[in-house]
Structure 1
């Protein structure tokens, strides 16, 4: 009976770990995407700074002068979004550590479960 309960607990922990790992990868991808967007905005702003303010430029929404576009790219980093993504990442990392601790405790309580798991992964 306890063996079955431990097996069910392992399955629950395993599913939580898979779910948390997926979310963590998603947040890391968001961070990489935001960093790329930030770099492109910086490079665009640098190129625009070389032009005079009365130079007309084009953006997908229409014709704008350089000073309007420069202001757009200056405010593009949006630190609040970066903070939210960073907090999400930290939360998920803490959750992953908790899941790993739960798994470690479960395996210490039931060494036979650890043996069963190892024999399954070898095959």
Structure 2
């Protein structure tokens, strides 16, 4: 009876670990994407700064290019840069939270294995079968 309870507990912990690991990978991917957006916005701003103030430049909208004043393009890129920085900050806090949850789940698993060493053998036999 205790073995069934421990096995159910293990499966629950394993499911939480898989779920948290998936979310963590997703957040890390989102952070990389936002950092890429931030870098593109920064580089575009640097290129726009080199142009004179009365210059018009083309902005890509899908397959179309629209002629816009430099000031409009600069404002758009600055906003993208700020938005990316804000998103990166919130994603980092999400990542820290998920890492704490993962550590907690790992501790729960470690405690379960220390509490019932027999379940470790059962788990190994399940993975070998």
Regarding TM over 0.5, the answer is yes
Q: Which stretches in structure 1 are left out of the alignment for 5+ residues?
A: none
Q: Distance in 2 between matches of 1:57 and 1:122?
A: 63
Alignment partner, residue 111 of structure 1 = 117
Q: Distance in 1 between matches of 2:67 and 2:10?
A: 59
Q: Indicate conservation of the 8 Å contact 2:113/2:120, yes or no.
A: yes
Deviations 1:34-71 (A, max 9, x none): 01011111111111111112211121353211121112
Q: Distance in 2 between matches of 1:4 and 1:121?
A: 17
Alignment partner, residue 75 of structure 2 = 71
Count of equivalent residues? 123
Q: Give the superposition deviation at 1:2.
A: 0.5
Alignment partner, residue 56 of structure 2 = 56
Alignment partner, residue 19 of structure 1 = 19
TM-score (norm 1): 0.92
Counterpart selection for 2:94 from 78, 88, 95 = 88
Q: CA RMSD in A?
A: 1.4
Alignment partner, residue 126 of structure 2 = 120
Q: Secondary structure at the match of 1:60?
A: strand
Q: Which stretches in structure 2 are left out of the alignment for 5+ residues?
A: none
